[in-house]
Amino acid sequence: MTDIREITDLAIDAARGAGEIAMEGFRRDGLRVDLKQDFHDLVTVYDRRCEEHIRERIEERFPGSAIVGEEGGASGEGSLTWHIDPIDGTANFARGMALWAVCIGVALDGEMVSGVVYDPANDQLFWADDRGAFLGDEPLVSRGSEDPRQATVIANFPLPRDLVHFPELALSQFARLSEDYSHYRAIGSSAVSLCWVAAGWADATFSFGANSWDVAAAAFIVRRAGGTYVTYAGGEPQPAERDYENPHYLALIPGARYDLLHDIMREQSRRP
């Protein structure tokens, strides 16, 4: 029988260890930054070192696990799958902005059972399992304003590709968002944004084009904190099963409707 709490303990320990490694390079003079797909997509040696550390810890304690990592790709075929983003928010990390996190989400036979998001620069540990959702030792309860005029929304939207390929749609949606909601912020980390919704520090967050390593841990934390996490494809809400693999998501405090955000999700998820 798999011990979920043992999994969480390992994930927390591995995330903290990776955070220590990352902090060695944070705000370090001469940090080398390489490009992946384009100049918007960055990677550093610390991304790779942190993921190597996490993989080693998993393989020591849970050999045979499947691992899906941003830098190292997929390996293994076990019933446990670990979704790893060693530094979610690499662009922030590389510029010395304290808005990035180590993410480890664990699924058992496809169902999420544990999630850890560690923000080393601020020493904030968000985690969840069958005990609930927590910030350190304190329970997390997602809460906020159901009135859009009092709500804070976090989203990295529109992205450069939105403005290049669909400028009229993106600008129209951004204008409506800015007009209807109290505050709008873009912070450059999906995981941190989701955890802030879980903590009640923001009321909603959404994104398009996410990967499982970006959201698996934090989406689970949102749900365990009582928030709502929904994904879209082809203009329609999708089933909750394995939805961390769906790239288009919206997370909300409990009870919030936020019809405009659902409209944006429907329209954007139809795009090619």
* Feature table: binding site for Mg(2+): 70, 85, 87-88, 214
3-state secondary structure 66-101: EEEECCCEEECCCCEEEEEEEEECHHHHHHCCCCCE
Known binding-site positions: 70, 85, 87-88, 214
Q: Compute the CA torsion angle 132, 236, 144, 197 (nearest 10 deg).
A: 50
Cα 70-36-231 angle, rounded to 5 deg:
50
Kindly state the tokens that stand for 6: 């043992």
- Residue 193 CB neighbour total at 10 angstroms: 29
Rounded CA-CA distance 48/65 in Å is 19
With a CB cutoff of 8 Å and minimum separation 6, the contacts of 67 are: 55, 58, 74, 75, 76, 81, 82, 84
